[in-house]
Structure 1
Amino acid sequence: MPYDLTTRLISELIGTALLIIIGNGAVANVELKGTKGNNAGWIIIALGYGFAVMMPALIFGGISGNHINPAFTIGLAMNDLFPWSEVLPYICAQLAGAFIGQLLVVAAFKPYYDQTKESEKIFATFATNNNANSNVNGFINEFIGSFILFFGAIGITRAPFFADNAGTAHLALGFLVCALVLCVGGSTGPALNPARDLMPRILHSLLRLKNKGSSQWGYSWVPVAAPILASIAAITLYSYLYL
């Protein structure tokens, strides 16, 4: 059944909040001192973000489309696969969801934030940066990862192979994200999603956390611009080839 815009916007907000809670929650569990998962390793973060995309997709894929990513919404609209009239409301819901999700991560891990002295570990639970301190390298990595994500996402959800089993298609999205974190994610984090990086970064700049350090605004444009440009390119290519 079709759902009205309000219901779909609420779903996008909750879905994006879940993305941040599960994804950045996994990062916090690994990076922050004193947690039971402290120093558990990159594989936990990769699995965490895979499930962070998979769970909202299974819950909301049949309701809002589970964009939970402004870049995906824009890429679809640029190719006439989503109405432009709903782009701004969807993006606002996604941004709000990311902000709320990060607030809940901080609430859940506040004692461990207080114990952690390394500002880079605190920052990693909010937003992304480039380990080589290079915006160019960060952009390249984010563009490659985002291109694969969006090409894969539209391919999985619209492929004839999954035509009669949309649930399996949305399950596969989680494995795609996990694979991307494992392969190209070591350079930047990665973000792959403007809302996932921008709103937690804003919250990082606003909160008074011990030893939090810089919010690294000089890099902040990379995880916004690269996913948007990659989404437009990936969905345009897929549409040209297969739709």
Structure 2
Amino acid sequence: MSSSDIFIGETIGTAILVLLGGGVCAAVTFKRSKAFEAGWVAIAFGWGFAVLTGAYISSGVSGAHLNPAVTIGLAIEGGTKWSDVPLYLGSQLLGAMIGAVLMWLAYYGQFRAHLTDPEIIAAQPEEEGLVDQKSAPKAGPTLGIFSTGPEIRHWVQNLVTEIIATIVLVLAILTQGLNDDGNGLGALGALITAFVVVSIGLSLGGPTGYAINPVRDLGPRIVHALLPLPNKGGSDWTYAWIPIAGPLIGGAAAGGLYQLAFA
């Protein structure tokens, strides 16, 4: 597998993943959307199918990691060379940012309507009026479309939730989802992984919104911070380390657990 294969496959695959995953969040959030208030089940299945689509597109090119936690897990397991890890991670982050921009373009009118709605503006807390920064973080009204956030802001619980959920994801991939070369997802592995993502969303996604993928959260959060969105509010950078650290720790733990129990 060449460097260009990794770059092209991971960039395009991750862009598709974030475009479709962010898209279902936008569809459920915006009043002027056919899927308005479709609910958490729609989001869980939307993200599962987003993973499936991105993985099918890129599996034959780069192995469809699409997630630094998966890349780290595969490197510890031995299927991916450590020298390829930086290229995987950089390509995934770039793809996630591209996907977030494409999602914004697809919902451009809805973003403007939502962020200029007097009800939405009035509902946002004034920065100087925040009583407790922990209970009322400076997160904008559409940040949840781009990135994750906890229902209860407790750093330890939030971090542990992301670690546990990511261990489930990466362990499922390592035990039954790999291609013949053992360096990424095959066709069957992509399907299995999609259903695992849905299961994680329905079972473990409630506390934090289940990032289980550092670039899925970081890339769109950067785009949210950079886009010229009116009344967009903050990007909640005080929380941003949780959906980065948790999945990376979980991916490494899954790789180590696989070596101990299954290798």
Judge same fold: TM > 0.5, yes or no. Answer: yes
The equivalent residue for 2:134 is none
User: Aligned AA for 1:204?
Assistant: H
Map 1:121-132 → 2, pairs under 5 A: 121-132=141-152
User: Aligned AA for 1:185?
Assistant: G
Question: Gapped runs of 5+ residues in structure 1?
Answer: none
Instruction: Give the Cα–Cα distance (whole angstroms) in 2 for the partners of residues 193 and 106 of structure 1.
Output: 20
Question: Gapped runs of 5+ residues in structure 2?
Answer: 125-139
* Equivalent residue for 1:5, pick from 3, 18, 31: 3
The equivalent residue for 1:157 is 177
Q: Deviations over 1:175-198 (max 9, x none)?
A: 100110111101111110010000
**Greater Cα shift, 97-106 or 32-41:** 32-41
**In the alignment, is the contact (CA less than 8 A) between 2:28 and 2:38 conserved in 1?**
yes
* Equivalent residue for 1:224, pick from 241, 244, 247: 244
Q: Secondary structure at the match of 2:177?
A: helix
The equivalent residue for 2:222 is 202
Q: Deviations over 1:8-29 (max 9, x none)?
A: 2201100000110111100000
- 1:166 shift after superposition: 4.2
Q: Deviations over 1:184-225 (max 9, x none)?
A: 101111110010000111111112212322211010000000
Instruction: Give the Cα–Cα distance (whole angstroms) in 2 for the partners of residues 79 and 159 of structure 1.
Output: 14
The equivalent residue for 1:18 is 16
The equivalent residue for 1:240 is 260
The equivalent residue for 1:43 is 41
Instruction: Give the Cα–Cα distance (whole angstroms) in 2 for the partners of residues 156 and 80 of structure 1.
Output: 15
- 1:159 shift after superposition: 9.9
Instruction: Give the Cα–Cα distance (whole angstroms) in 1 for the partners of residues 111 and 155 of structure 2.
Output: 27
**Greater Cα shift, 55-64 or 117-126:** 117-126
TM-score scaled to structure 1, two decimals?
0.92
The equivalent residue for 1:106 is 104
- 1:81 shift after superposition: 2.5
**In the alignment, is the contact (CA less than 8 A) between 1:33 and 1:113 conserved in 2?**
no
RMSD: 1.9
User: Aligned AA for 2:165?
Assistant: G
* Identity, % of aligned positions: 38
Q: Secondary structure at the match of 1:171?
A: helix
- 1:60 shift after superposition: 2.1
In structure 2, relative to structure 1, the CA distance for the partners of 1:168 and 1:75 (3 Å cut) is closer
